[in-house]
Amino acid sequence: MGKDKLRRFAAVKDYPNFFEPTIGEVSDMKGKWSEHFGNDHPIVLELGCGKGEYSVGLSRHYPEKNFIGVDIKGARMYIGATEALEEGLTNVAFCRTKIDFINDTFADNEIDEIWLTFSDPQPNKPNKRLTSPNFIEKYRRILKKGGIVHLKTDSDLLFEYTTEEIKEKGYEELLVNWDLYNEMGENLDQMTKDIFHIKTHYEKLFTSRGSVIKYCKFRIS
Ligand SMILES: C[S@@+](CC[C@H](N)C(=O)[O-])C[C@H]1O[C@@H](n2cnc3c(N)ncnc32)[C@H](O)[C@@H]1O
């Protein structure tokens, strides 16, 4: 790890909005995230949040919801965690863990929604895709009944795979959009448009290369 990454990683560990459960052990936070936020507002996860632009952006739009960005890269989450602290956003936190161990960190029925933002498409390892059955089963446990999964991606492969999984596994398809910014539709309210326009680091990178952004949302229970 480079010097700056090490500095950021060390600094973020002392932040009040950053959590780092021991991987492979049940976290003290499991079932207690509402206590951290000091309210019983809905909790939304962003899995593979990177620098946390979506978690921070959503927390500004929805003060009545709580957001937790999850990633294994602490030095990346430092960016979002610092921004949230400087802005006084108390409804967003970050958690460094592997998504594979999400059931050690969040209790059954603790979560209301999950966002997957520009997840790695894992071309050669379908079982590692964040919308593969292996992960969906983990999400099913932590999501409340009727909880929603959102996927925003540049990847045709991941999007096609996910939309096929929705059909094959009988998840409830709520919206599938193969060209989000061109087909957003006039009937969306301004708030929803503003949310879609939150741009993560990877979204900016991929759109600068001409990628078309895709979005779907579905229910798994
Ligand atoms: C392509 S980046 C996208 C980051 C961010 N969402 C964005 O749009 O800029 C994928 C992120 O997912 C994280 N990630 C991938 N697999 C993971 C896993 N199994 N557990 C935790 N984080 C993971 C990586 O560390 C990386 O930050």
Tell me the two tokens of residue 72. Answer: 């294994």
* Overall residue count recorded for the chain in this entry: 221
Mapped onto helix, strand or coil, the DSSP state of residue 111 is strand
Q: Which residue has the tokens 């779907």?
A: 216
The domain limits of the chain are 3-219
Beta-strand runs (E) in the chain: 18-19, 43-47, 66-71, 92-96, 111-117, 143-153, 172-177, 214-219
User: From residue 196, how far is each of 6, 76, 97, 138, 166 by CA, in Å?
Assistant: 32, 22, 26, 26, 21
- C-alpha 151 – ligand 1 centre gap (Å): 13
Taking residue 148's Cβ as centre, other Cβ atoms within 10 Å add up to 18
The catalytic residues are 120
Ligand 1, closest atom to CA 48? 12
115 within 8 A of 54, measured Cβ to Cβ: yes
Top pLDDT among 196 and 126 is at 126
Residue 186 pLDDT: 67
* Closest ligand 1 atom to 201 CA: 9
pTM higher than 0.75 for the full model? yes
Most informative mutation of 99, 128, 150, 199 for ligand 1 (most atoms within 8 A of CB): 99
Residue 27, amino acid: S
Q: The tokens of 70 are what?
A: 């999850």
- Indicate which atom in ligand 1 lies nearest the CA of residue 117: 6
Query: What is the distance in A from the centroid of ligand 1 to the CA of 50?
Result: 5
Q: Ligand 1 test: best mutation among 71, 196, 203, most atoms within 8 Å of CB?
A: 71
Q: How does DSSP assign 156-211, residue by residue?
A: HHHHHHHHHHHHHHT-EEEEEESSTTTS--TTS-HHHHHHHT---HHHHHHHHTTP
Tens digit of pLDDT for each residue in 173-199? Answer: 999 999 998 877 666 777 788 888 899
Residue-level pLDDT at 184: 75
| Averaged pLDDT for residues 115-142 | 98
Residue nearest to ligand 1 atom 20, measured at CA: 98
CA of 186 to the centre of ligand 1 (A): 32
pLDDT for 97 beyond 90: yes
- In three-state secondary structure terms, 144 is strand
Q: Ligand 1 centroid vs 209 CA: distance in angstroms?
A: 19
Measure the CA–CA gap between 207 and 44, rounded to whole angstroms.
25
Q: Report residue 61's pLDDT band, with 50, 70 and 90 as the boundaries.
A: very high
pLDDT digits (tens, 9 = 90+) for 161-174: 999 999 999 999 99
Write phi, then psi, for 34 (nearest 5 degrees).
-65, -35
Nearest CA to ligand 1 atom 11: 48
β-pairing verdict for 66-71 and 92-96: parallel
The pocket around ligand 1, CB under 6 angstroms, is made up of 48-50, 71-73, 76, 98-100, 117-120, 200-203
The CATH number of 3-219, from 1.10.10.10, 3.30.70.3270, 3.40.50.150, 3.30.2010.10, is: 3.40.50.150
